[in-house]
Every structure is written in C-alpha cells, then in structure tokens.
C-alpha cells in the first residue's frame, strides 16, 4: 500500500470573514455580515408546513381521569396522601419490565 502524503501544513491564523461568491464564472468577494443580512431579507418563510402529517399516527387525547387527579392533588396538599416506598418501587420495576417486554 502506498504511503499517504498530506503535503505541507498551513499555519492557523485569523479567520477570514469574507465569503467567495461565484456568479456566472466571475468570482467576487463579499463581507460575511452583508451576505447574512441579504439572505435574511431575501429568504421568505412559507406559512404552510413542509411535511404533511397523517391522522393514522395521531394517538388522540391522553386518558386522564380529572376527578382522580383532583382527589390526589387535594390529598397531597392536605398532607394525608399515603406514600409507601415499597409500592412505588414495585410500580417502577413493573413499568420497566413492561417497557422491555415485546408486545
């Protein structure tokens, strides 16, 4: 296998803020700030979405029992919501097992 030659290394210096533009065979140099300003003014953003979504993938609204949420919220605010670490740990382990199993 032939050796890979990299050539001479150039010294790293200051960044050149000018951009080279090719216009019909003619190369001109433009200031980067002017190019960005021009791009912002000439680029228009369309109001219509670029991607069409499918209703087949829409999961719909989340099934939330608002009465139960209000009951739990009231119990937490009053300080009498039962927190049993063993039950919480069991539920976390069960949720992890459900995520790992193939449906």
| Residue pLDDT tens, the chain, 103 long | 667 776 666 666 666 656 555 555 444 555 556 666 666 655 555 566 577 777 887 888 888 999 999 999 999 899 998 889 999 999 999 998 888 876 5
In a domain, 20, yes or no: no
Query: Length of the chain in residues, anyone?
Result: 103
The vertex-87 CA angle with 102 and 78, nearest 5°, equals 130
CA proximity to 89, closest of 79, 97, 77, 81 = 97
Please provide residue 72's backbone torsions phi and psi, each rounded to the nearest 5 degrees.
-65, -40
Distance CA 80, CA 65 (A): 20
Distance CA 38, CA 87 (A): 62
In a domain, 82, yes or no: yes
Domain limits for position 69: 65-100
In a domain, 93, yes or no: yes
Based on the structure, what is the number of domains in the chain?
1
The whole-model pTM stands at 0.33
Helix (H) or strand (E) holding 85: helix 85-100
């Amino acid at each position: 296998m032939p050796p890979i030659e990299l050539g001479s290394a150039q010294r790293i210096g200051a960044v050149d803020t000018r951009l080279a533009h090719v216009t019909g065979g003619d190369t001109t140099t433009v200031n980067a700030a002017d190019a960005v300003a021009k791009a912002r003014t000439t680029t228009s953003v369309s109001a219509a979405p670029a991607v069409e979504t499918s209703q087949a993938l829409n999961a719909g609204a989340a099934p939330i029992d608002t009465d139960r949420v209000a009951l739990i919220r009231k119990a937490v605010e009053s300080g009498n919501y039962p927190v049993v670490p063993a039950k919480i740990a069991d539920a976390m382990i069960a949720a992890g097992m459900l995520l790992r199993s193939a449906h």
